[in-house]
């Protein structure tokens, strides 16, 4: 027991890693006691403090002590922070014993944009009277005049996610999200292009199902590629983790983000699409000091996305609400 305010992070499995990192960052600041609860089984062995399936008919799959612990924490909580998103924010509270008067806040990730969803009066109405909304994709800031939004990007554990000393030449890592047809087509086009013109280069997705083991595989790559959908504004967590490992990232980041926030000032992603990738790759290899570029990228992640900075930003917002 502590005298600190208690914040509970609630999320579904897909957002376990992002929510966990933010929870750890807040605890590092030591002004708030925060706990991380995942309401379904996390994929890829993402870290989680407590796993408790959301619906009553699934609770039998997990020790009942988990559910009892969740109930205890929710009862003690001063604030409940729900992870994603406008379609799921309220459903996360279904079946959980949360007093109506608990203070609530929310983080929306870039998933909504990548899935073609946007903030509207219809789906924001439930949140407006409750509390504050944090967004992780800068393009959400287009709605800043309509809704009270705060932009805080992903937290990255830069002390754990570090550069590899075993780099493999001519390797390009990518996020293995091939279940999305558009993304799968981009990767297939890129592979064909490299195979035809630069067969010495390999695309590496990681062969394990464990998030941490896959990071270790990708850490040996010398570049990382992320093709964003046209409506997504900034790189995702996987790109930031690559940067933390001193891996330069090629990404078709929207130039609009510079107009929306200075929070990502100096974002070191190298602008490239599938169509321009070959030319950009060759120019980067010819004109860039790779070691200097790699070290500067990691410095940017530490200063912009490290636990200290993100933890302080969330802590400040939570204290204002409490």
Are 35 and 23 in contact by the 8 Å Cβ rule? The answer is yes
Rounded Cα gap, residues 196 and 122, in angstroms:
49
Q: Which of the residue ranges 217-226, 265-274, 277-286 would you say has the lowest mean pLDDT?
A: 265-274
Beta strands in the chain (DSSP E): 6-11, 33-38, 50-51, 79-83, 103-108, 133-135, 149-151, 171-174, 202-204, 223-226, 249-251, 270-271
Are 269 and 251 in contact by the 8 Å Cβ rule? The answer is yes
Beta strands in 19-118 (DSSP E): 33-38, 50-51, 79-83, 103-108
Are 238 and 263 in contact by the 8 Å Cβ rule? The answer is no
Name the CA radius of gyration of the chain, rounded. Answer: 20
Q: How confident is the model at residue 112 (pLDDT cuts 50, 70, 90)?
A: low
As a whole number, mean pLDDT of residues 2-25 equals 89
Q: How confident is the model at residue 248 (pLDDT cuts 50, 70, 90)?
A: very high
Rounded Cα gap, residues 147 and 108, in angstroms:
13
Q: How confident is the model at residue 88 (pLDDT cuts 50, 70, 90)?
A: very low
Q: How confident is the model at residue 86 (pLDDT cuts 50, 70, 90)?
A: very low
Q: How confident is the model at residue 7 (pLDDT cuts 50, 70, 90)?
A: very high
161 vs 192, more confident: 161
* CA nearest neighbour of 67 among 52, 50, 47: 52
pLDDT digits (tens, 9 = 90+) for 28-72: 999 999 999 988 776 677 888 888 876 554 444 555 678 888 888
Output the six-digit token pair for 196: 């035809």
Structural domains in the chain, sorted by start = 6-155+306-321 (3.40.50.2000), 171-305 (3.40.50.2000)
pLDDT digits (tens, 9 = 90+) for 250-261: 887 766 666 677
163 vs 188, more confident: 163
What is the pLDDT at residue 220? Answer: 93
Query: In what order do the strands lie in the sheet containing 223-226?
Result: 202-204, 171-174, 223-226, 249-251, 270-271
Q: How far is CA 192 from CA 153, 181, 202, 223, in A?
A: 33, 16, 11, 17
In this predicted structure, the answer to whether residue 102 has a pLDDT above a threshold of 70 is: yes
Are 137 and 109 in contact by the 8 Å Cβ rule? The answer is yes
Give the pTM: 0.86
């Amino acid at each position: 027991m502590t005298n600190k305010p208690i914040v509970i992070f609630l999320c579904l499995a897909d957002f376990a890693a992002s929510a966990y990192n933010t929870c750890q960052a807040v605890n590092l600041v030591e002004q708030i006691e925060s706990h991380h609860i995942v309401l379904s089984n996390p994929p890829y062995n993402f870290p989680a403090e407590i796993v408790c399936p959301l619906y009553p008919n699934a609770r039998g799959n997990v020790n009942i002590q988990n559910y009892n612990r969740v109930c205890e924490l929710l009862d003690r909580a001063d604030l409940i922070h729900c992870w994603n998103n406008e379609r799921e924010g309220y459903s996360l509270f279904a079946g959980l014993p949360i007093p109506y008067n608990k203070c609530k806040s929310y983080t929306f990730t870039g998933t909504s944009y990548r899935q073609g969803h946007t903030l509207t009066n219809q789906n924001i109405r439930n949140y407006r009277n409750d509390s504050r909304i944090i967004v992780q994709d800068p393009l959400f800031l287009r709605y800043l005049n309509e809704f009270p939004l705060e932009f805080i990007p992903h937290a990255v554990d830069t002390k754990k996610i570090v550069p590899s000393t075993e780099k493999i030449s001519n390797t390009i890592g990518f996020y293995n999200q091939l279940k999305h047809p558009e993304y799968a087509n981009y990767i297939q086009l890129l592979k064909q292009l490299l195979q035809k013109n630069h067969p010495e280069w390999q695309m590496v997705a990681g062969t394990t199902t464990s998030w941490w083991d896959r990071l270790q595989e990708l850490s040996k790559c010398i570049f990382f590629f992320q093709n964003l959908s046209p409506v997504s504004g900034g790189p995702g967590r996987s790109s930031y983790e690559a940067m933390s490992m001193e891996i330069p990232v090629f990404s078709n980041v929207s130039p609009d983000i510079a107009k929306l926030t200075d929070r990502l000032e100096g974002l070191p992603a190298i602008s490239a699409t599938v169509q321009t990738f070959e030319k950009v790759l060759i120019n980067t290899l010819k004109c860039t000091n790779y070691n200097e570029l790699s070290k500067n990228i990691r410095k940017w992640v530490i200063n912009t996305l490290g636990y200290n900075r993100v933890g302080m930003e969330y802590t400040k917002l939570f204290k204002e609400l409490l």
